Chain A
Amino acid sequence: MSKQKILEIRWHGRGGQGAKTAALLFADAALTSGKFVQAFPEYGPERMGAPVASFNRIADQPIMQHCGVTDPKIVVVLDPSLIGKVNVTQGMPDDGIIIVNTAESPKDVRSNLKLKGSKVFTVDASGISKAAIGRDIPNTPMLGALLKASGLLDYKQTVEETRKKLQKKFASKPEVVEGNIKAIERAYEEVKGE
């Protein structure tokens, strides 16, 4: 099995922003579409606010490798303040896709990152999260942006699966579920790329 057939994603965030949960939700959604999946976080001395990363592998056939992801096709940045402090584009190929949670335009982010190739997408996931959920938890809106930017999974089906998943997790807080779903939908609509 050659490597090209496996899509690799790296999520950058800060402890508490839900980078791990986002990877798990995305893998679950991909599983429902019949894909083979992996989702795993990078475990360091994790604490609130510290830079963290998590990873996905998605494929149409069984995924055998259990090594780290070093050259992801897609990078998702949950916190724009990481740019310049963490090398978020490390290992990303020239035809890669980077999606950043920021109110800035893709053009500005491209120049900040000094990126020549690659596609750059931005969405104000924090703003959306505050409006829809009442807190700055950007992971679910970024999931919506990823669905749009990657075009990998069926959008409607994924939203429904995520709703089911969240309903299980937040059985006692139905308002959290609807807020998150709204955030995914808004980010899917509002994400811009170049």
Chain B
Amino acid sequence: MAVVAKTGNEAMAEAMRQINPDVVAAYPITPATEIVMIFAQFVADGLVDTNYIPVESEHSAMSACVGAATTGARVMTGTSSQGLALMYEILPIASGLRLPIIMCDVNRAISAPINIHCDHSDTMAARDFGWIQIFSENAQEAYDNLLQAVRIAEDPRVLLPTMVTTDGFIISHGMERMEMLEDAQVKEYVGEKKPAYSILDLENPKTIGALDFTDYYFEHKMPLVQAMKDSKQVILEVGRDFGNKFGREYGFFEKYKMDDAELVMVALGSTCGTAKVAIDELREQGIKAGLLKIRVFRPFAAEEIAKELAGKKAVAVMDRSDSYNTQGGPVFTEVRSALYGTSNAPKMINYIYGLGGRDINVPQLKSVFTDLSKIDKMPEINYLGVRE
């Protein structure tokens, strides 16, 4: 174990080096460029055995990943924003074919207007493509999540592509203290990939990506439904095992001062750290504030989240993207849906904030808790930090 100062991008690139995937196919895009740039240097320096495929677009990057993964190879890529959007056509093919591709996505706003800074619009638009989605609060979590993603995605009960995200610039380009495992520890932790099949196995030929009409398409989607359900158990097992081995345990979410909390914030990503500071300051004033930090957004741990929020006085769900649906952001609609029909459901409002990298600070987050103390007077959907 080594204590180092790394940016989120460096942390992810180092994790990729230690994972030593068979194939990486990627196309650069701000703010994720550094991940594959640093990794390409590792390839050039002979530090990994990876076959690195520089491609001409993100569409090609994901297509190459799909092709490579059908051979049974361990495959990784990295992208962001418009780059992820260009992959959208291929993302459900990866999950439909049950290919455990691992992606680093650096969260960045979607055009227009053109913007390079953080919000979660890119990942949220990919939420229904059958990928597991894991959000990271800081560089340490980005690193830890990426290592765990290999174990989760490749588990025979799962076999789902998995994306691990960081907040663009805030985490991707912010350098902070973190702990890195030794190369040998990671090698042992991720192990050898044991693919279910390889398209290059000529003794056992397979058809992959066949036409499937009204006769069987529906049936062939059901294993994906089941795999996403089964992945929940695997995510918990992997997170506990990581804690036992390396001292940092992970689950679907992190609870911060939740036990006696009356006013609760639900959030994702780097904002959660800032929210913890806000909560500490409020606690000094005797306000019972708490945070439920969602780490795994797909699958969505609806029952578990509903259980944590039951009986709370008021809940604010923070969305760093909008669904433009007139009824709240994607995290809000999920959380509210999770609580529908449950007993003791709290009152709940939504905040859409931080679009295009707009800073979110401690006083703003404290103001959300002030709003929660008079929730009956609050509108259901609020836009925080935007000028009128």
The size class of the interface chain A forms with chain B is 20 to 34
Q: Of B5, B117, B270, which is within 8 A of A31 by CB?
A: B5
Q: Are B280 and A1 closer than 8 Å at their CB atoms?
A: yes
CA distance A6 to B176 in the complex (A): 14
Q: Is A41 an interface residue (CB 8 A)?
A: yes
Q: Is A39 an interface residue (CB 8 A)?
A: yes
CA distance A35 to B177 in the complex (A): 9
CA distance A68 to B3 in the complex (A): 24
Q: Are B273 and A65 closer than 8 Å at their CB atoms?
A: yes
Q: Tell me which residues across on chain B come within 8 A of A38, comparing CB atoms.
A: 174-176
CB distance from A142 to the nearest CB of B (A): 18
Q: Of A1, A28, A65, which is within 8 A of B5 by CB?
A: A28
Q: Is A37 an interface residue (CB 8 A)?
A: yes
CA distance A31 to B173 in the complex (A): 17
Question: In chain B between 279 and 300, which residues have their CB closer than 8 angstroms to a CB of chain A?
Answer: 280-281, 284
CA distance A66 to B361 in the complex (A): 8
> Does more than half of chain B's interface fall in helix, strand or loop, or is it mixed?
mixed
Q: Is A159 an interface residue (CB 8 A)?
A: no
Q: Tell me which residues across on chain A come within 8 A of B3, comparing CB atoms.
A: 31
Q: Tell me which residues across on chain A come within 8 A of B359, comparing CB atoms.
A: 67-68
Given contacts A1-B280, A2-B281, A37-B5, contact A43 B174 (CB under 8 A): no
Stretch of B127-135, B163-171, B326-334, B371-379 that contacts chain A: B163-171
CA distance A93 to B138 in the complex (A): 28
Q: Are A65 and B174 closer than 8 Å at their CB atoms?
A: no
Q: Is A27 an interface residue (CB 8 A)?
A: yes
Q: Is B274 an interface residue (CB 8 A)?
A: yes
17 A-B pairs (CB sep. < 8 Å): A1-B280, A2-B281, A24-B5, A24-B175, A36-B176, A37-B176, A37-B177, A38-B175, A41-B173, A63-B177, A64-B277, A65-B276, A66-B167, A66-B170, A66-B270, A67-B362, A68-B359
Q: Which residues of B contact A (CB under 8 A)?
A: 3-5, 116-117, 138, 167, 169-171, 173-177, 270-271, 273-274, 276-277, 280-281, 284, 359-362
